Structures are given as C-alpha cells and as structure tokens.
C-alpha cells in the first residue's frame, strides 16, 4: 500500500490551493478587465481552465488513495457507508452555503438594487450567458448534479460546471468496489450513459479515471527505477499534443482537447514529482478553504460588477481597483465560512444536535 509522506501531502495541498487561487484571479481578470484588455483574455482563460484540470487530476488521485485505504482498513471489503459519508460532508455543506450566498446576492440585485431580472443590460453585454437572475430549477440541477442531464446550471456561478463531473466520478468509482455484481454493472451502464450525454464528461472523466487508477499503481510506480524519466517523457509528449490544440483554445476560448491532453501532461508530471519526493509549500495552509473559494468567488465577482454598472462607477480605474480588492473579499468570506462548512466534525455536530 502506498502512503503519502508529509512532504508529498504538503505538495498536493499546495497545488490544490494554487489552482483555486489561479482560477479566482483569472476570473477576476475576465470579469473586470477582459473587456478593456481583450488581448490577454485567452491567457486568462488558459490559466483558469488548466487549473480546473489540475483539480480533476488531484481529485481522481486522492480519491483513489482514499478508496485504497478504505479497502486496506477493512481487509479488502469496501465500506461504502464510510465512503458516501465522507463524500457527502465534503461536498454538500460548502455547496449549499455557496448556493445560499448566490441566492442572497440575486435577491439583493433584484429587490434592493432594482435590476430587472437580476441583470442590467450592460452586465449582460459584458458577461454574455451570465446573470444574477434567480431560477429555482438551476439550483435544483446543481444540488442534484444533473447540470448536464438538464442542460442548465446556476447562471451567476460559472465555476459549478466541473462539479457534476467529479461527483458522478466519485459515485461510479465507489459503486465499482461494492461486492454486488449487479451494482457494478449498473455503475458501468450509468457511466456510459453519462459519457454519451456530454462531451465534457466524456473527456474529463477519463482524465479523472486514469488519475484514480494511478493511485492504485503507486506501489509499482515508486519501485520502478526509471519512473521519473518515463513520467517526464510522457508529460512532455502530452504537453506537445496539447500544444497542437492551442489554436482551438485561442479561437474558441474553450479548447476541450487542449484541456484533455494538458490534464494527462500534469498527471505524469505529478507522478514524477511524487516519485522524486519533491516538496512544494506555497499557499499550502490555504488549501483548507480552496473548495469553498472555488465555489463562492464567481457570484461575488458578478455581483460586484453588477453593482458597479448599476451605479455607473465602472471605468478603467475602478475596474482595476475591483480586480485588486474583490479577491481579498472572496478570501475573507471563504476563510471564515470554511471554518464551519469545510469542518466535518462541526457539521456532524450540527446535524446530531
């Protein structure tokens, strides 16, 4: 069985925190400065989406280690109850808080600041496809992770698109280790249906799944003498392939295949770093609220932009000021909220009382 060293754990925590901060800063640029300095928009989108792929890799790898530990603790029998409980308390409390905050901001924009349908036309023009409108069905699809099945998500929180992919990967991975073969078959069938439903799930679940499997292969990977060299070559090869899709990324600002191959490039780079026991300790202490930061920052940014447009104070200077100050506000909110909503013991105590 493979166990992370303290240095390796710190490295993974640092990567998680760095990714969350990168997504937030990139979205800050896109929302406040993207219209004024469009030449840097593709670079901001590149950093944001690449960081999400880092999340997918880390998530798959860490869940793989968790499942492996679960099997080891229970002599090869998978404790599905413990697995579901740990995922529930990890995912839902911060998600519910973020949706409650988003709903409050939507209500404020509509009923306090008198924005028709929650969106002044100028905001709609600057952020096409996003609004502060409150649509209950969007919240339902997010809470049930049926975004891709119902083809809708919360219009004021663009970060939530990746969550259902991860959650359904968690579900399928857990069900595959249940002893009942019919459950395994149903899990595979459900996974194939999701693959058919949406290309994002089809591509990014593969990245998550291979990262998951690599966690089980770590004992072999760490024993192999040439692991670092092989992984670095594989990482460079996938990076080269990703580069061939860079033009697609620049022109569409989506670049699904660029993200797909970048994810594999990062995975093999991560394996090389773990094998070499390389330590990275940058923002590692902030990883405890990285999930909340990822969920909360987008609606706060959209609301701030809407307020600036509503009162006519959006200009070159104030947009730069918002770009500098709003991330601090997001960090303060998530730093405090995570003390409750990312603290499993506190949440369990609340439910038990």
CA 273 to chain centre: 22
φ and ψ at residue 344, rounded to 5 degrees: -60, -40
Task: Tell me, yes or no, whether 128 lies in a domain.
Answer: yes
Task: Tell me, yes or no, whether 240 lies in a domain.
Answer: no
Q: Closest Cα partner for 169 from 124, 121, 204?
A: 204
Helix (H, G, I), strand (E, B) or coil at 43: helix
Helical residues (DSSP H) of 224-255, grouped into ranges: 227-244, 246-252
Task: Tell me, yes or no, whether 241 lies in a domain.
Answer: no
The predicted structure's pLDDT at residue 124: 47
Task: Tell me, yes or no, whether 22 lies in a domain.
Answer: yes
Phi-psi region of 281 (alpha: psi -120 to 50; beta: other; left: phi over 0): beta
The owner of tokens 């409390």 is 93
The predicted structure's pLDDT at residue 249: 66
Helix (H, G, I), strand (E, B) or coil at 151: coil
Task: Tell me, yes or no, whether 236 lies in a domain.
Answer: no
Give the span between the Cα atoms of 29 and 319, in whole angstroms. 9
Burial label for 115, CB within 10 Å (0-12, 13-18, 19+), is: buried
Task: Tell me, yes or no, whether 338 lies in a domain.
Answer: yes
Task: Tell me, yes or no, whether 123 lies in a domain.
Answer: yes
Tell me the residue ranges of DSSP E strands in 160-282. none
What domain count does the chain have? 1
Give the span between the Cα atoms of 107 and 101, in whole angstroms. 10
Stated pTM of the model: 0.88
The predicted structure's pLDDT at residue 121: 42
Domain range for residue 180?
A: 6-229+248-256+274-352
The predicted structure's pLDDT at residue 353: 61
The predicted structure's pLDDT at residue 268: 95
The predicted structure's pLDDT at residue 137: 81
Give the span between the Cα atoms of 99 and 31, in whole angstroms. 20
* CB 1, CB 72: distance < 8 Å: yes
Neighbouring CB atoms inside 10 A of 100's CB total 11
* CB 331, CB 293: distance < 8 Å: yes
Task: Tell me, yes or no, whether 160 lies in a domain.
Answer: yes
Segments in the chain below pLDDT 50: 118, 121-122, 124
């Amino acid at each position: 069985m493979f166990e992370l060293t303290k240095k390796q754990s710190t490295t993974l925590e640092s990567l998680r925190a760095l990714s969350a901060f990168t997504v937030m800063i990139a979205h800050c640029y896109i929302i406040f400065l993207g219209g004024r300095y469009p030449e840097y928009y593709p670079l901001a989108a590149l950093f944001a989406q690449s960081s999400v792929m880092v999340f997918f890799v880390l998530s798959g790898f860490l869940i793989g280690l968790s499942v492996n530990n679960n099997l080891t603790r229970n002599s090869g029998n998978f404790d599905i109850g413990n697995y579901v409980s740990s995922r529930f308390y990890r995912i839902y409390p911060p998600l519910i808080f973020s949706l409650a905050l988003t709903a409050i901001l939507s209500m404020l924009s509509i009923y306090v600041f008198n924005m028709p349908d929650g969106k002044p036309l100028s905001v709609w023009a600057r952020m096409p496809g996003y609004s502060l409108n409150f649509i209950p069905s969007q919240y339902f699809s997010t809470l049930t992770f049926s975004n891709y099945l119902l083809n809708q998500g919360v219009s004021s929180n663009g970060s939530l698109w990746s969550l259902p992919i991860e959650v359904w990967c968690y579900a399928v991975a857990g069900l595959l280790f249940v002893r009942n073969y019919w459950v395994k078959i149903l899990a595979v069938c459900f996974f194939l249906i999701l693959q058919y439903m949406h290309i994002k799930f089809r591509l990014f679940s593969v990245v998550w799944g291979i990262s998951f499997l690599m966690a089980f292969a770590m004992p072999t990977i760490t024993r192999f003498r040439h692991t670092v060299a092989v992984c670095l070559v594989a990482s460079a090869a996938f990076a080269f392939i990703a580069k061939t899709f860079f033009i697609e990324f620049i022109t569409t600002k989506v670049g699904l295949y660029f993200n797909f191959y970048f994810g594999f490039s990062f995975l093999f780079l991560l394996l090389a770093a773990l094998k070499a026991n390389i330590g990275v300790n940058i923002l590692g202490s902030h990883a405890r609220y990285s999930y909340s930061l990822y969920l909360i920052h987008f609606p706060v940014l959209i609301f701030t932009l809407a307020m600036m447009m509503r009162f006519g104070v959006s200009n070159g200077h104030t947009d730069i000021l918002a770009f500098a100050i709003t991330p601090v506000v997001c960090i303060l909110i998530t730093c405090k909220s995570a003390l409750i909503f990312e603290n499993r013991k506190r949440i369990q105590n609340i439910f038990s009382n």
